Amino acid sequence: MIEKLNEQLDHAYDEMVSVRRYLHQYPELSHHEVETPKYIAEYHRKLGHEVREGVGGRGVVATLKGAKPGPTIALRADFDALPMQDEKDVPYKSKVPGVTHACGHDGHTATLLILAKVLNGLQQSFEGNVVFIHQHAEELEPGGARPMIEDGCLEGVDVIFGTHLWAPTPLGKIEYNTGALMAAADRFEITIKGKGGHGAQPHDTKDSILLGAQIVQSLQQVVSRRTDPLDSAVLSIGSFVADNAFNVIADSAKIIGTVRTFDEAVQERIAEEMEQIIEGNARSFGAKAELHYTKGYPAVINHEEEANFVSEEASKTPGIDEVEHAKPQMGGEDFSYYLQHVKGAFFFTGAKNPEWTEVYPHHHPKFDIDERAMLHAAKVLGRLTIEAFSRYK
């Protein structure tokens, strides 16, 4: 059956590329997806699948029932785009000003749709069901995964798999991890309130910029001096905004940044340390500073057995030259929520064209993928699905 799967995926590759390029030209922002979920739902309906729209907001869930009862395997793909201008010089360039698929979600969707079509043709051989989870709003917290789960997208699911087409990784390579693969992604905002005044009279002020600069510098100690070197963590400042007149000492300032961790205890400790540092610095200035810390997506923690299953099956898949136990990435992904409810694994599928002299990273305006990676992803996910019917009986 797997040989037939691969053969039919090869025949459907041109359609896969066509679907991906269509979606690339008509991207939609997180929580504003309208036409994309309609397109996805209609594609599945034409295949005869059971379809639910508006799942958790704008998600789509389609179910393919096998000829005989058995385990239910879920496959997930996201479909939202980013608020960026597409700067690629390609025929399929985005036609929506200021919006583009700069992370590969168009490729994820095309991969899953064509895989659904091919699996549909093998339905009579299945002893189990396949649930295709098309998720909205991965890029923008609170994300689409959690509301989709709350709306029942995982009901009856025994195991879930997902992949991310990964531009930094060479084509033909699969990267996985038996534990943490991607980090928890938190956001913080520090509001500083001092006392403004004339630039020539600093002694009559409580300089918010100076206090902010001291806070920024002190926060670097949270990871370098207050976190165990064996515990991975990142604390980055992304924005520092205050008044911009050359002769005014700012009355207030705002600092925005992110914290990335894998361990919940480390996450909690960092937030506590930040609070202490910010309060201490503000007190020394006779000013006020308030920390607003927002937890984002939790870390993507793969289940060991399912991650090893990915490794085993990917190594048998045509087109996959290498399967590597990869280092965790500090980027965030709300696939993590699915893994908190059912066993499963998330992995990276190499999408770096070996002939490209310059490869642009995810979230870059010139980002693109080698589209053959979609075929690799479909074959691995398809193989996992077929083998899982007997593995999870």
pLDDT digits (tens, 9 = 90+) for 221-235: 999 999 999 999 999
CA–CA dist 105, 109 (Å, integer): 6
Residue 338 has pLDDT above 90, yes or no: yes
Q: Mean per-residue pLDDT for 213-219?
A: 98
Give the DSSP per-residue string, 212-263. HHHHHHHHHHHHHTTS-TTS-EEEEEEEEEE---TTEE-SEEEEEEEEEES-
- 125 and 10 share a domain? yes
Q: Which of 69-73, 96-100, 158-162, 228-232 has the lowest mean pLDDT?
A: 228-232
Q: In what order do the strands lie in the sheet with 343-352?
A: 50-55, 59-65, 127-135, 68-78, 159-170, 343-352, 173-176, 322-325
Q: Are 156 and 251 in contact (CB under 8 A)?
A: no
At 140, the amino acid letter reads: L
Share of the chain above pLDDT 70, in %: 100
- 141 and 39 share a domain? yes
At 332, the amino acid letter reads: G
Mean pLDDT for all residues in the chain: 97
Query: Which pLDDT band, with edges at 50, 70 and 90, does 243 fall under?
Result: confident
Give the Å distances, CA to CA, from 385 to 135, 269, 344. 19, 40, 12
Q: Are 131 and 72 in contact (CB under 8 A)?
A: yes
Q: Mean per-residue pLDDT for 125-133?
A: 97
Q: Mean per-residue pLDDT for 115-138?
A: 97
Among candidates 219, 177, 167, 207, which has minimal Cα distance to 364?
167
Q: Mean per-residue pLDDT for 11-19?
A: 98
End residue of a domain, out of 294, 313, 347: 294
Give the pLDDT confidence score for residue 304 in this predicted structure: 98
Note the pLDDT tens digit of each residue in 41-90: 999 999 999 999 999 999 999 999 999 999 999 999 999 999 999 999 99
End residue of a domain, out of 275, 294, 313: 294
CA–CA dist 113, 95 (Å, integer): 22
Domain of 107?
A: 2-182+299-391
- 49 and 26 share a domain? yes
- 215 and 347 share a domain? no
Query: Which pLDDT band, with edges at 50, 70 and 90, does 322 fall under?
Result: very high
| Residue 33 CB-density burial (10 A; 0-12 exposed, 13-18 middle, 19+ buried) | buried
Give the pLDDT confidence score for residue 28 in this predicted structure: 98
- 262 and 304 share a domain? no
- 318 and 359 share a domain? yes
Give the pLDDT confidence score for residue 137 in this predicted structure: 98
Q: Mean per-residue pLDDT for 290-319?
A: 98
Beta bridge pairs of residue 102: none
Q: Mean per-residue pLDDT for 234-259?
A: 96
End residue of a domain, out of 271, 294, 317: 294
Please work out, in degrees rounded to the nearest 5, the angle formed at the alpha carbon of residue 204 by the alpha carbons of 199 and 207.
Answer: 60
- 38 and 151 share a domain? yes
- 196 and 332 share a domain? no
Alpha-helix residue ranges (DSSP H) falling in the chain? 2-11, 13-25, 35-46, 105-121, 145-150, 208-224, 264-285, 304-314, 336-339, 372-391
- 35 and 147 share a domain? yes
Which are the catalytic amino acids? Answer: 80, 138
φ/ψ of residue 336, rounded to 5: -55, -35
By DSSP bridging, strand 343-352 and strand 159-170 are parallel
- Residue 209 is part of a domain; what is its CATH number? 3.30.70.360
Give the pLDDT confidence score for residue 244 in this predicted structure: 84
- 62 and 107 share a domain? yes
Number of separate domains in the chain? 2
- 172 and 193 share a domain? no
Residue 100 has pLDDT above 90, yes or no: yes
- 104 and 208 share a domain? no
Give the pLDDT confidence score for residue 357 in this predicted structure: 87
